């Protein structure tokens, strides 16, 4: 298949997009064009991916990114078998494009990968005026219902199913555990992995680091929102913690091994109540005990598998006390690491779900191009059938544009 993957919001090195989904498509032999804000994020496409640079949609500055995305879809869409969209904003670039594609012949299978509860996430956006948040939430829910009628949907969480009227496949955020046994957790270094913001507990992280110093160091890996960047830079400058900024996924994950614990300090926000923090799964996969606030899915994982400790929301002293307990108690620390790693290998392993993700896209393409209904999630749709469908699609449209 020829797959056009598009984001104007996410980092081009996003683990779900690049390191799980695109990697799985390459493993199956499909061709991928990856359109993302490479320049704006200060990174370059990986050698195995054809990259297309797009502007970044950030805050209220989204018009240029959507115009560029619309042009890209008009240019590359006609010769794609699948258009895989990763941002709800991109739904605004679709209507005219899809109408044109359908006039030319069978339209590509257009898929929206639903990463989060968009309406709930608006509550946390500082750039959205409070007075506009209720009508925007209503508009987002309406857009989701419209998208459900016009597109194929993939959901990142089972909990997102209740937002939609139909059943849609779930492609969860899971980990790729390292092949060999990771080193045992140490007792003097704590790691935070992921985007840093107020709602994700960035200021709590700094306060926790102050309470742990100098016995236990804290390392933060990830890009930061503008309103916490100065505080993180000051904490790094003063030796309170080490902020490494954004690191590519492979380098970031390598920093986990041997850590005392991995932190997830999410606040109690609607968007986090239905999502399992990917960082928690990654900590488990790399044999690192977890210390998390009680967001429901994270707390359920930790308590069910005994792989760490749950602390109250916005309570740095409690987080510091839990980390000191892990540092003192080697048996608790080693058991948490072992149990988390075992659960990640058996239940939370992307390797067990990657083929199903690719099978789903292949089945949708076969259904659209051959006109033969295929059950959702049918395994082994067949590369030969899909490639034949692509040839039929190309014949129907007679596209002159190179892929």
The pLDDT of residue 62: 81
pLDDT at 275 over 50: yes
pLDDT at 383 over 60: no
Quote the radius of gyration of the chain (alpha carbons, Å): 22
> Residues 174-199: what's their mean pLDDT?
95
pLDDT at 402 over 70: no
Q: Measured between alpha carbons, how far is residue 150 from residues 63, 84, 111, 155, 274 in Å?
A: 23, 14, 10, 16, 25
Per-chain mean pLDDT for the chain? 88
The pLDDT of residue 355: 97
Q: How far apart are CA 97 and CA 132, in angstroms?
A: 28
Please state which of the ranges 19-28, 112-121, 148-157, 324-333 shows the lowest mean pLDDT.
Answer: 112-121
CB 4 within 8 A of CB 84: yes
Architecture of domain 2-172+353-397: 3-Layer(aba) Sandwich (3.40)
pLDDT at 167 over 60: yes
The pLDDT of residue 54: 97
The pLDDT of residue 118: 74
Q: How far apart are CA 253 and CA 179, in angstroms?
A: 13
Provide the pLDDT confidence category of residue 374 given band limits of 50, 70 and 90: very low
pLDDT at 140 over 50: yes
Please state which of the ranges 141-145, 282-286, 386-390, 395-399 shows the lowest mean pLDDT.
Answer: 395-399
Q: Is the omega angle on the peptide bond into residue 214 within 30 degrees of 0, that is, cis?
A: yes
Q: Please name the residue that has the structure tokens 């080697």.
A: 330
Q: Considering only the top CATH level, what class is 189-346?
A: alpha beta
Where are the chain's structural domains? 2-172+353-397, 189-346
> What are 52-75's pLDDT values in tens digits?
999 998 877 789 999 999 999 989
Burial (CB count <10 Å: 0-12, 13-18, 19+), residue 179: exposed
Q: Show the tokens assigned to 15.
A: 């683990």
Q: Show the tokens assigned to 66.
A: 């959507």
The CB density around residue 223, as the number of other CB atoms within 10 Å, is 15
Q: Which residues contact 347 (CB under 8 A, 6 or more apart)?
A: none
Q: Show the tokens assigned to 16.
A: 């779900």
> Residues 82-101: what's their mean pLDDT?
82
> Residues 174-189: what's their mean pLDDT?
94
Q: Where are the beta strands (DSSP E) in 296-338?
A: 308-310
> Residues 18-43: what's their mean pLDDT?
96
Paired residues of 58 in beta bridges: 61
> Residues 252-280: what's their mean pLDDT?
94
CB 289 within 8 A of CB 340: yes
Q: Which residues contact 129 (CB under 8 A, 6 or more apart)?
A: none
Q: Measured between alpha carbons, how far is residue 236 from residues 220, 244, 254, 317 in Å?
A: 10, 9, 21, 20
Backbone region of residue 306 per phi and psi (left: phi > 0; alpha: psi in -120 to 50; beta: other values): left
> What are 314-337's pLDDT values in tens digits?
999 999 999 999 999 999 999 999
pLDDT at 101 over 70: no
């Amino acid at each position: 298949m020829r797959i056009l993957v598009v984001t104007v919001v996410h980092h081009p090195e996003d683990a779900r997009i690049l390191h799980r989904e695109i990697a799985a498509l390459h493993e199956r032999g499909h061709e991928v064009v990856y359109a993302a804000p490479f320049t704006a994020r200060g990174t370059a496409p990986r050698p195995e991916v054809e990259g297309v640079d797009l502007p970044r949609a950030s805050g209220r500055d989204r018009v240029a990114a959507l115009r560029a995305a619309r042009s890209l879809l008009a240019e590359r869409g006609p010769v794609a078998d699948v258009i895989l969209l990763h941002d709800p904003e991109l739904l605004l670039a679709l209507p005219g494009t899809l109408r044109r594609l359908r006039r030319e012949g069978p339209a590509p299978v257009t898929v929206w990968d639903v990463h989060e509860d968009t309406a709930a996430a608006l509550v946390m956006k500082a750039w959205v005026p409070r007075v506009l948040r209720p009508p925007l939430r209503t508009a987002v829910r309406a857009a989701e219902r419209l998208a459900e009628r016009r597109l194929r949907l993939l959901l990142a969480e089972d909990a997102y199913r209740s937002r939609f009227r139909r059943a849609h496949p779930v492609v969860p955020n899971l980990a790729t555990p390292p092949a060999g046994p990771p080193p045992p957790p140490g007792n003097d270094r704590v790691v935070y992995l992921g985007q840093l913001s107020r709602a994700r507990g960035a200021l709590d992280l700094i306060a926790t680091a102050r309470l742990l110093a100098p016995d236990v160091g804290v390392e933060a890996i990830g890009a930061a929102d503008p309103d916490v960047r100065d505080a993180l830079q000051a904490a790094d400058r003063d030796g309170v913690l080490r902020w490494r900024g954004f690191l590519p996924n492979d380098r970031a994950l390598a920093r986990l091994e041997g850590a005392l614990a991995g932190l997830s300090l999410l606040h109690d926000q609607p968007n986090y109540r239905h999502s399992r923090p990917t960082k928690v799964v990654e900590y488990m996969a790399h044999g690192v005990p977890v210390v998390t606030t009680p967001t429901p899915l994270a707390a359920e994982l930790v308590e069910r598998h005994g792989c760490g400790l749950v602390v109250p929301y916005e309570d740095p002293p409690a987080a510091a006390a839990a980390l000191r307990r892990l540092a003192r108690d080697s048996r608790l620390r080693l058991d948490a690491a072992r149990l988390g790693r075992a659960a990640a290998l058996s239940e939370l392993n992307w390797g067990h779900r990657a083929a199903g993700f690719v099978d789903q896209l292949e089945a949708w393409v076969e259904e659209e191009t051959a006109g033969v209904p295929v059950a959702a999630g049918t395994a082994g749709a067949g590369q030969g059938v899909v490639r034949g469908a692509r040839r039929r699609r190309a014949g129907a449209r007679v596209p002159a544009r190179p892929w």
